[in-house]
């Protein structure tokens, strides 16, 4: 099996650099205030190169959301051999590392501020970000229901419960009080407790799953990341 060519690797690296630069600019200037010129300058690429990789500002914004969606849902799309509890734990930390990322928090604040005057910006953010993640979470939880590991009537409500339980409170605080970003120990406290509550409510074998979660929480070091 041949490896990825140097040319392809170079393109991937440039795409990542552009996406990170775009996130920095969007977070600082908001969607309406961001220009492709500013993104090109931040990424240190020419404007024609930027348009070659991403044809429009809308496409670039969507790609930022999609790349983070893929990171968050990797635990569900590539499940662990250790089973559902491990998958939920991995997802929870990937979700935390995204939504508590300072740039994403800044972007979310600016999107909210712009939504009244430019509702299409709010709709674009919702459609390309939270809605896509929600569908991925719903699909995974539904697969676990079909496998007999979870029980619920409405997969959307179950998915909403999951991410509300694991991170709603610290994220809301961080959104409204920018200097109140929780440290890793605080995030772990919310994730561990939120998963316990979720499994008590939805697991078909809560005793076994809660025992596994307890072992995982005790053995796993606090993950490193951006939060």
CA neighbor of 20 nearest in space, from 8, 118, 53: 53
| Ramachandran area for residue 222 (φ above 0: left; ψ -120 to 50: alpha; else beta) | beta
Position 3 scores a pLDDT of: 66
pLDDT digits (tens, 9 = 90+) for 93-143: 999 998 898 988 888 888 888 888 888 888 888 887 888 899 999 999 999
Position 127 scores a pLDDT of: 83
What whole-number distance in Å separates Cα of residue 29 and Cα of residue 121? 13
pTM above the 0.85 mark?
A: no
Position 226 scores a pLDDT of: 43
CA neighbor of 60 nearest in space, from 97, 30, 15, 108: 15
Domain boundaries of the chain, sorted by first residue: 64-219
What whole-number distance in Å separates Cα of residue 57 and Cα of residue 75? 29
- What is the mean pLDDT, run by run of 10 residues, along the chain of 227 residues? 71 88 88 90 92 89 84 91 96 93 87 84 83 94 98 97 93 87 92 97 97 89 49
Residue entry with tokens 């931040």: 42
Kindly list the distances between the CA atom of residue 130 and the CA atoms of 47, 95, 123, in Å, as whole numbers in the listed order.
29, 11, 10
| CATH homologous superfamily of 64-219 | Tetracycline Repressor, domain 2 (1.10.357.10)
What the block records as the tokens of 192 is 């561990």
What whole-number distance in Å separates Cα of residue 49 and Cα of residue 46? 5
Residue entry with tokens 């991403």: 54
Residue pair 89/196 in contact (Cβ under 8 Å)? The answer is no
């Amino acid at each position: 099996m041949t490896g990825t060519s140097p040319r392809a690797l170079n393109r991937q690296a440039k795409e990542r650099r552009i996406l990170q630069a775009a996130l920095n600019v969007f977070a600082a200037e908001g969607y309406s205030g961001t220009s492709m010129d500013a993104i090109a300058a931040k990424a240190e690429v020419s404007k024609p190169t930027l348009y070659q990789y991403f044809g429009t500002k809308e496409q670039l914004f969507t790609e930022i959301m999609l790349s983070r969606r893929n990171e968050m849902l990797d635990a569900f799309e590539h499940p662990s051999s250790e089973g559902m509890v491990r998958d939920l734990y991995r997802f929870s930390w990937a979700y935390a590392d995204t939504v508590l990322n300072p740039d994403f928090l800044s972007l979310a604040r600016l999107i909210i501020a712009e939504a009244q005057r430019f509702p299409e910006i709010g709709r674009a953010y919702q459609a390309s970000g939270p809605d896509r993640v929600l569908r991925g979470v719903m699909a995974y939880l539904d697969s676990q229901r079909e496998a007999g590991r979870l029980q619920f009537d409405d997969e959307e409500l179950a998915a909403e419960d999951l991410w509300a339980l694991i991170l709603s409170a610290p994220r809301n605080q961080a959104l409204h009080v920018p200097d109140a970003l929780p440290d890793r120990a605080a995030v772990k406290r919310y994730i561990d407790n939120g998963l316990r509550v979720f499994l008590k409510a939805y697991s078909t074998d809560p005793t076994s799953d809660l025992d596994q979660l307890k072992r995982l929480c005790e053995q796993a070091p606090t993950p490193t990341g951006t939060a």
